[in-house]
Amino acid sequence: QITLKESGPTLVKPTQTLTLTCTFSGFSLSTSGLGVGWIRQPPGKALEWVALINWNDDNFYSPSLKSRLTVTKDTSKNQVVLTMTNMDPVDTATYYCAHTPFRYFTYWGQGTLVTVSS
């Protein structure tokens, strides 16, 4: 049974750095072909693809966010960490992490709402 859960702050101030952790079970990111992605959704708006990290440490980032993003994995802890610098109110969204066997997302976490406000 595959599960994922996002954790991190619910409120960050403008210009601060956001760090979110995705803790998962039921699979290993050392398994060839697997990956974990990050997707966000501003309140009442559409899904936005953010980033993806593969089993082999290949990273893919949204070009519009790339300069602010870092995604890393800790295979021993079954965790993936998303870091986003210089947060702005427009970054207010529910952030999801999701399992991917090949770039499409099969299992999703419940998401965590991050509000950017002073």
Query: Which positions from 11 to 40 touch another protein by CB under 8 A, shown as an x/- string?
Result: --------------------------x-x-
Q: Up-side HSE of residue 82: CA atoms within 13 Å toward CB?
A: 32
Q: What letters, b where the CB count within 10 A reaches 16 and e where it falls short, cover 68-85? A: bbebebeeeebbbbbebe
Tell me which stretch binds another protein (CB under 8 A): 13-21, 44-52, 67-75, 81-89: 44-52
| 76 vs 102 by CB, closer to another protein | 102
Q: Does 49 participate in binding another protein (rule CB under 8 A)?
A: yes
Specify the DSSP class assigned to residue 27. Answer: S
| 16 vs 41 by CB, closer to another protein | 41
Instruction: Return d(Cα 30, Cα 32) in angstroms, integer.
Output: 6
CA angle 84, 86, 88 (to 5 degrees): 100
Q: Does 46 participate in binding another protein (rule CB under 8 A)?
A: yes
Q: Residues in the site for another protein, rule: CB under 8 A? A: 37, 39, 46-49, 52, 60-63, 96, 98, 102-106, 108-111
